[in-house]
A = this chain, B = another copy of it.
Amino acid sequence: QPTSAAAPSHLKIALVPGDGIGPEVVAEAEKVLDAVTGAAGVTVEKTEFGLGAQHWLDTGETLTDRTLDELRAHDAILFGAVGAAPGDRRVPSGIIERDVLLKMRFSLDHFVNLRPSRLFPGTTSPLSDPGDIDFVVVREGTEGPYAGNGGVLRGGTDAEIATEVSLNTAHGVRRLVRYAFQLAAVRERRKLTLVHKHNVLVNAGRLYARLVEEVGAEFPGVTVDYLHVDAATIFLTTDPARFDVIVTDNLFGDILTDLAGAVTGGIGLSPAGNINADRTAPSMFEPVHGSAPDIAGQQRANPVAAILATAMMLEHLGLAGPAARIEAAVQQDLAAHGNESRTTAQVGDGVLAALA
């Protein structure tokens, strides 16, 4: 990763198992975390935080300032998933997403939402000829259409007007784009693709284009191209191997990374880092998938995304060696057992066995 920390000997990790399948996948991630840090002589102090729909039902609290302060005292946050069952009327629609997940991203300034996509051996893509997929989406995390700006006039009437305002700043886009170039510069193919829709969203689109050009001048070794978001979805299904680093806005990144997860065999394998690259607050690492209440408690969830999120976390914290060990173990386990039907714990144990 672009900014690297000195290798620590002690880590304070905030664990947020959350709702649904969150606790199950985090349990496996913990096993793997313990194994690689133990082997590297790094001690890990874990503090568990209750957050999510169940926590809201129990306490009436989403993510309080007190909890945010406590989280700030940690080196990183390992997150499972939050969210009530879709039909659960006790939890107001969207409140957990906005007041926990997005609030955390905005409060801790997680301006880089880093989402790697790889097609692992032993996994099946819905594409008949996926090629060698290995790209990273660098999604903006703290502005754009996610700013929560907009409103309603004459709500509930036939004259209602509802607006959503996408806010984009040179400050926010420049630091995102810089991170993306730094990442592209250390990757093998050194290619950066800006994805936007600047023929329609001219204001935000031009800002992104300008800053990619400006920052790109500092990275002459990186090849730059541009795709409209609609065209990008086509290439993600017809030739995903063409991509290396994709830099894009918050909403486009949301859409493209779910699609990327699908073409690489499912979001059960996709990790994400919500990264404060200035390191002014702890970063948060999570599987891209949600809480999947329909299969919760049944040991049917795939913990690979959570385990790979753990590797991203360790890499961010300066432990590239242990991170690489996890990735190699996951690859080995998937190559051997990828298509077998296994319990959540069996997958975790498989990765542990591959580590040994």
Residues of A within 8 A of B (CB): 93-94, 97-98, 102, 126-129, 145-146, 150-152, 154, 156-171, 174, 197-204, 206-207, 210, 229-231, 233-234, 237-238, 251, 254-255, 257-259, 261-263, 266-267
Given the known A-B contacts A127-B126, A198-B93, A199-B97, are A204 and B234 also in contact in the complex, defined by CB atoms under 8 Å? no
Please give me the residue from chain B that is nearest to A250 by CB atom.
B200
Please give me the residue from chain B that is nearest to A200 by CB atom.
B146
Inter-chain CA distance A168–B151, complex, in Å, is 10
Residues of B with C-beta under 8 A to A145: 164, 166, 200-201
A200 touches B102 (CB 8 A): yes
Residues of B with C-beta under 8 A to A158: 170-171, 174
B165 touches A164 (CB 8 A): yes
Please give me the residue from chain B that is nearest to A265 by CB atom.
B238
Residues of B with C-beta under 8 A to A163: 165-168, 203-204
Please give me the residue from chain B that is nearest to A101 by CB atom.
B199
B263 touches A237 (CB 8 A): yes
Measured CB to CB, the closest approach of chain B to A88, in angstroms, equals 14
Given the known A-B contacts A158-B174, A229-B255, are A164 and B237 also in contact in the complex, defined by CB atoms under 8 Å? no
Given the known A-B contacts A200-B102, A204-B150, are A210 and B156 also in contact in the complex, defined by CB atoms under 8 Å? yes
A233 touches B262 (CB 8 A): yes
Residues of B with C-beta under 8 A to A259: 230, 233-234, 237, 259
Inter-chain CA distance A277–B320, complex, in Å, is 59
Residues of B with C-beta under 8 A to A167: 161, 163
A207 touches B162 (CB 8 A): yes
What are 27 inter-chain pairs, A to B, with CB distance below 8 A?
A93-B199, A97-B199, A98-B199, A126-B129, A150-B201, A150-B204, A151-B203, A159-B171, A160-B207, A161-B168, A161-B170, A162-B168, A162-B203, A162-B206, A163-B203, A163-B204, A164-B201, A165-B165, A230-B257, A231-B258, A233-B255, A233-B258, A233-B262, A234-B259, A237-B262, A238-B262, A238-B266
Measured CB to CB, the closest approach of chain B to A151, in angstroms, equals 6
Residues of B with C-beta under 8 A to A161: 167-170
The one of B128, B165, B254 that contacts A126, using a Cβ cutoff of 8 Å = B128
Inter-chain CA distance A126–B127, complex, in Å, is 6
Residues of B with C-beta under 8 A to A94: 198-200, 202
Q: Identify 4 new A-B residue pairs, CB closer than 8 A, beyond the known A98-B199, A164-B201.
A: A93-B198, A150-B201, A154-B170, A197-B254
Inter-chain CA distance A116–B136, complex, in Å, is 32
